[in-house]
Amino acid sequence: MTTNAVAVRLVELLRAGKFEQVYDELFDAERVQHIEPQSEYFAKVVGVPAIKEKDAKMAANIAEFGAMQVGDAIVAGDHFAIPYKMGFTLKDGNAVNLEEIILYQVQEGKIVLEQFFY
């Protein structure tokens, strides 16, 4: 897949809430790096199994998901970026509204990097 095709497919799957399918279909299972420098727990995670484990740990602290918005991708070379907004309520009752840009890199038709800026 081209970078543009991966970007279009990723946005489609995210908007449908098919997060597991994103990982299984579009990510390089072994090489993908998840970089989130703002997080004290998940600054850098490598590989789809580790990313899924990170997501499970995060989801365990969420009581309720709210609205989610995924913008259109902007593609340049082997990179693309999407704007992403999500609201949720933690089990401790605190409401969280995330607004971020997620940068991706594609090599050989698979995502090898996702980096979160928020």
For residue range 13-43, what is the model confidence (pLDDT) as tens digits?
Answer: 999 999 999 999 999 999 999 998 777 777 7
**How far is it, in rounded angstroms, from Cα 34 to Cα 50?**
9
The CA-based dihedral angle spanning residues 47, 71, 79, 33, taken in that order and rounded to the nearest 10 degrees = -10
Contact 89, 61 (CB under 8 A): no
| pTM, to two decimals | 0.91
Q: How much is the pLDDT for 52?
A: 93
Q: Which CATH architecture has domain 3-117?
A: Roll (3.10)
**How far is it, in rounded angstroms, from Cα 21 to Cα 27?**
9
